[in-house]
Amino acid sequence: MTGDDYVPREDVRLLVVDPSTRRGEDAIASARFADLPRYLAPGDLVVVNDAATLPGTLRGRTPSGAFVEARLIDTAPLRAVLFGPGDHRIRTENRAAPPRVHAGDPLTFGDLSLRVRAVSPISPRLVELDAPIDDAFWARLYALGAPIQYAHRPAPLPFWSVQTAYATRPWAAEMPSAGRALTWDILLSLRRRGVAIAALTHAAGLSATGDPALDAALPLPERYEIPDGTARAVADARRRGGRVIAVGTTVVRALEASAVEHLGAVAAGPGVASLVLTPAHRLRVVDGIVSGIHAPDESHFRLLGAFADAATLGAAAERAIALRYQRHEHGDACLILPGALASTRRAAA
């Protein structure tokens, strides 16, 4: 999992962990992401997060004239993480702290002014902003903002490159990148194989803030909305014995949060996912996951502990390193299928 090169969507590789047919290291295979349909079966259900990525990075000034960068993490309510001087070529954890702001302070980004409504007690970087979320706001945001950039990419990422093929409403602070390589050709191949596809919308937040105290609290509670059709699709898949495969941890958080609240069933409608996935979490709805490639010291790697034991994840990480899989947001992917945990770890339906 070394290297920092951008991997084009059509070149993304897929590390497959499938203990249902083999054991140990033999259960780990390397494939192309385009091969995803062959690892799924008729009757399975793939659930994606269709949130579009916000142009949520704004660079402006405080009332004193000090530079401030705001990275929006949601628009309902409007919240942001603030940064001081620097740009995307500096790693987030090395960015300068922002100037101190207080409730009532206006932050000016070009001709867009956002007033600080409140400063979080968790971190002075995390603020709630006050602005009417109307057509004029959206017009200025799309004119002035840019998607979050990453230090491993020396050139800025264009806006189109941080959208999934099926993006709809602009809810995501960062791209739901597990679905980046899920092109319409692959979606069509899944349908031809008899795999159902459904979507929900989840406000994917930031993966890092530069503040250790705030990073320790991630992921923050995030809103989601599950359509009626998706709730029915999950119920149908479970009833017929199909597997529910989540594309990304945001999908897992939404489906599992709904299942926790509704006694094991996924209910249609809005909600807030405060659930944090850990190895101790007993999955109620989701059977497998498509995710990015993560290093063992990253928080997303630990989230995968809900799907596979430490030995399996460790072996997968070693294989990814040996094969030089790319592990950043625009890198390669993995698929973890059922069987990587003992059956006793599964919760009753």
How far, CA to CA in Å, does 300 sit from each of 17, 216, 219, 291?
A: 16, 12, 10, 9
Residue among 293, 346, 342, 288 at smallest CA distance from 317: 293
Residues 167 and 294 in one domain: yes
What is the number of structural domains in the chain? Answer: 2
Residues 68 and 34 in one domain: no
Residues 116 and 253 in one domain: no
Beta bridge partners of 48: 199
Residue 100: which domain range? 57-144
**Which pair of structure tokens corresponds to residue 268?**
């249609």
The domain boundary residue, chosen from 86, 121, 144 = 144
Residues 297 and 173 in one domain: yes
Burial of 126 (0-12, 13-18, 19+ CB in 10 A): buried
The pLDDT value given to residue 23: 55
Residues 330 and 236 in one domain: yes
**Where residue 246 sits, what CATH number does that domain have?**
3.40.1780.10
Rounded Cα distance between 71 and 209, Å, is 9
Residues 216 and 99 in one domain: no
Asked whether residue 149 is assigned to any structural domain, the reply reads no
Identify residue 116 by its one-letter amino acid code.
Answer: V
Rounded Cα distance between 251 and 224, Å, is 9
Asked whether residue 68 is assigned to any structural domain, the reply reads yes
How far, CA to CA in Å, does 162 sit from each of 35, 67, 87, 230?
A: 22, 26, 18, 24
Asked whether residue 37 is assigned to any structural domain, the reply reads yes
Beta bridge partners of 13: 32
**Residue tagged 């006050």 (tokens):** 130
Residues 94 and 204 in one domain: no
Q: Which residues of the chain have pLDDT under 70?
A: 1-5, 21-26, 299, 339-349
In contact, 289 and 317? CB cutoff 8 Å: no
The C-alpha torsion from 15 through 20 and 23 to 25, rounded to 10°, is: 0
The pLDDT value given to residue 3: 38
**Which pair of structure tokens corresponds to residue 169?**
């409403």
Residues 219 and 276 in one domain: yes
Residues 313 and 192 in one domain: yes
The pLDDT value given to residue 21: 61
